[in-house]
Structure 1
Amino acid sequence: MRDKNRNTVLRKLLLSFFMFEALLWGSFSGVVIDKTTSKPVANATINDSYISVKSDENGTFAIHSAEDKIFVKAYGYRPYTLSKETNSTVLALEPITVKALYLSFWRASNNSPRLKEILEIIEKTEINSIVVDVKSEYGSTSYKTSFEKANVYGAHNDRTNRDIEQFMKLMKSKNIYTIARIVTFKDELQASNNPEYAIKKSDGTLWRNHDEMAWVDPFDKRAHEYTVSIAEDAARVGFDEINFDYIRFPAKDGLSFSKESTQESRVEAISEFLKLAQNRLRKYGVFISVDTYGNICWEDYDMGIGQMIEPLSKYADYIAPMLYPSGFAKGSFGLENPSEHPHAVIYRSLKNIEDQIESKRLRPWLQSFKDYAHRKIEYNYFEINEQIRAAADTNTSGWMLWSPSSRYELSYFRAKERDVLTLDSIRENSEYID
């Protein structure tokens, strides 16, 4: 009887607490639907800076929040921001299959001829997204962020964009989905200014990789805070998505870290970074994506770099394996030269992980550069579109095309009004010889 009375008192206290919470905070309920089909969107995330709820199978949700804005995210849709003053309780999300071109650090100027070329491609073709370097491998930022620590190191000295607000305004006016690429642990500038948490050689001296770039220790929380602060600024200026690259340990043996480097500790370190990023970026309503080695699709261990599909997917919205056919060794997939079989490489790799992650959470990086490893073939219309076809055949959320020079051919992409891309049309417009 005493336990029963105690439980009754506890229930009353909890009820009183939640009633007080509802009065203190605002309450908002609604339904999330697909803007195109008007069908409900289940499992959408609705959140403010602290609270997250999910829409049910009917798209309905309820959230208590004292904040002015609420953010709505669902895989395969553009992010949605809701003002608490909005009267509508029906939230229509715009579906998007991301088809992105990469714009490099040195071409991120508002007046860059390469940017103008990309904007023309977006205007006339299926391309609807752009990946922009915000933080480079060296540690430079393409615009001056509000993160003073990086500015003290001179991260903004070589910036290529002097007016990021103008840039973002232009992107929004054209309804372009914007992705901020942020290099994570490879950071010469941060490491050289903070040698106490830079990766060392076994003799205790600073280690640099083959291109003379130092890295910061992924175990060290100071390295986490640094990069997340830059990511937070990119979210603040209006990017739709934050893409973390080099979010891994170096693929190098014999290095010295602040902790013992085991598979468990490495995977945990990467997860801790992403957990921090998720918590800090949630108040901006942005998506988070992570770039991975292409081989992650084929291995059941972390390859010594801390990357595994399932742990990454716990905190990241999208996984972006770098499935460049030239990056796979001879004999991979039973193919003598994988670069000659672009569809097979992409298709088989993505199918191989479909039991680990939903296909709509995959968005591979595709190759738009000359094969450097095998037959030295150029990647032209056929090779690029075979990769695109493979991404579509596996029902991914889209793809991102990597050209180091950010040079792309308008004629390689479907015109906006075309709905179907056949293999015959690919062959007719390519120089490929079977």
Structure 2
Amino acid sequence: MKILLLTAMLLQNTLFASFSANIIDAVSLKPIKDVTISDSVLSVKSDINGSFTINSLEKPLHVKACGYRPYKITQESSDKVLKLEPLVVKALYLSFWHTNNQSPKLRDILKIIDETDINTVVVDVKNEYGHTSFKTSFEQANSYGADKSIINRNIEEFMSIMRAKNIYTIARIVTFKDELQAINNVDYAIKNRDGTIWRNHDNMAWVDPFDVRAHNYAISVAQEAAKVGFDEINFDYIRFPAKDGLLYSKESTQESRIKAISDFLNLAQERLRKYGVFISADTYGNICWTKDDNNIGQTVSSMAPHVDYLAPMLYPSGFASGSFSFKSPSNHPHTVIYRSIKNIEDRIDTKRVRPWLQYFKDYAHEKRHYREFEIKEQIRATQDINTNGWMMWSPSSRYNIEYFIKDKSL
């Protein structure tokens, strides 16, 4: 009887193993509240003193706080004071076709990181066509040919290079725009009124954002990125097409579209929790100025609760003539960025906003080249409004190191 009682007591203690600690800023040494500590199924928050207790048998535990690098509590961890390293992201985009470890574009970006304050790389993991940049274990995607254009044949080496240089890594996942997935799953591809597969202006098919199978597919690819060690998952094209008259599995209303995007993000949070990755979502820039969903399912208020970071594409060339009272918004890069983010600070803390910035020629107004002045003005705006940094979009992944040398006057 005593043996049974002792066994029961040991089992109870094992089932409810707890871990407690305090979390502080590694620089200021001040406590950090509302930090998320998670295992694969459970999340708790630190209190105003940075203290938390989590009942979990699992290790590692993951620690996430916006504005800080991710932190991992391992089996060997015994510290009762956890110091999180502050991080303001300064990111350059590395396109799908340049993710090879021997790529000259990657080499150029690493040189910029070595010699400037740039600290982050955004890497295409799944592109618009549906190809993955490295071989994943997601057999459904591979059966469609997603692995036929593998660019990086040694993702472990790539991640090792990133870790050695303390580079924060963001995996870009193109979500509902996916030719391969759509043509192999015609039943949930977006269709024209006549029942044929709809394609957008660049002849790409999309999958239905209402369909949970499309949700699971994109998140499965995201899990592959998390498994190899990316710090953050960035969902792009996480929206409905900006096109009327299309057929979906449900009636397309503002309420239903917003719910579909929210449901996707909730599922992503649930399935990615055990990896400790941050989640960001790209949006149209004009959601900073509208309260409706622009017929695509995106609003600041509806998306903010479900992501760590919101990433509006605030390209000055993307705003129509007359916006901000300017004939050519592209001539006013600081104003476009600053005022857009200022306009949403009542709906999301600006420290959880990280905009995409323009590193390409103006295509809409005066065909202005975006060079050092325009690049630095955009960056200055993010500093003035106190965002979690920025991500620079160059379709060619070509960057001038001179543009990122720190201006001592800022």
User: Smaller-chain TM-score range?
Assistant: over 0.9
Aligned pairs for 1:142-221 (under 5 A) are: 142-221=133-212
Indicate yes or no: 2:248 matched with 1:234. Answer: no
Q: CA deviation at 1:25?
A: 2.7
Match of 1:292 in 2: 283
- Code of the aligned partner of 1:399: W
1:88 aligned counterpart, secondary structure: coil
Indicate yes or no: 2:90 matched with 1:99. Answer: yes
Indicate yes or no: 2:389 matched with 1:394. Answer: no
CA–CA distance in 1 between the matches of 2:176 and 2:338? 29
8 Å contact 1:102–1:403 — kept in the other structure?
A: yes
1:29 aligned counterpart, secondary structure: strand
1:169 aligned counterpart, secondary structure: helix
Unpaired runs of at least 5, structure 2: 1-9
Distance of aligned partners of 1:139 and 1:396 in 2 relative to their CA distance in 1, 3 Å threshold: same
Aligned pairs for 1:32-181 (under 5 A) are: 32-181=23-172
Distance of aligned partners of 1:21 and 1:270 in 2 relative to their CA distance in 1, 3 Å threshold: farther
CA–CA distance in 2 between the matches of 1:197 and 1:56? 44
Indicate yes or no: 2:292 matched with 1:324. Answer: no
1:363 aligned counterpart, secondary structure: coil
TM-score when scaled to structure 1?
Answer: 0.91
CA–CA distance in 1 between the matches of 2:114 and 2:82? 27
CA–CA distance in 1 between the matches of 2:201 and 2:77? 54
Q: Deviations over 1:90-129 (max 9, x none)?
A: 1110001000000000001000000000000000001000
RMSD: 1.4
Q: Deviations over 1:10-64 (max 9, x none)?
A: xxxxxxxxx9865413110000011111111111001111111111111010000
8 Å contact 1:414–1:421 — kept in the other structure?
A: no
Match of 1:338 in 2: 329
CA–CA distance in 2 between the matches of 1:86 and 1:139? 40
Match of 2:274 in 1: 283
Q: CA deviation at 1:313?
A: 1.3
8 Å contact 1:241–1:287 — kept in the other structure?
A: yes
Indicate yes or no: 2:15 matched with 1:24. Answer: yes
Match of 1:14 in 2: none
- Code of the aligned partner of 2:239: R
- Code of the aligned partner of 1:257: Y
Q: CA deviation at 1:84?
A: 3.5
Regions of 4+ moved over 4 Å: 19-23
| 1:403 alignment partner, one of 369, 382, 394 | 394
Distance of aligned partners of 1:305 and 1:196 in 2 relative to their CA distance in 1, 3 Å threshold: same
Matched residue count = 403
8 Å contact 2:14–2:57 — kept in the other structure?
A: no
Unpaired runs of at least 5, structure 1: 1-18, 423-434
Match of 2:259 in 1: 268
- Code of the aligned partner of 1:154: G
CA–CA distance in 2 between the matches of 1:21 and 1:366? 53
CA–CA distance in 2 between the matches of 1:316 and 1:141? 23
- Code of the aligned partner of 1:45: T
Match of 1:250 in 2: 241
Match of 1:375 in 2: 366
2:296 aligned counterpart, secondary structure: coil
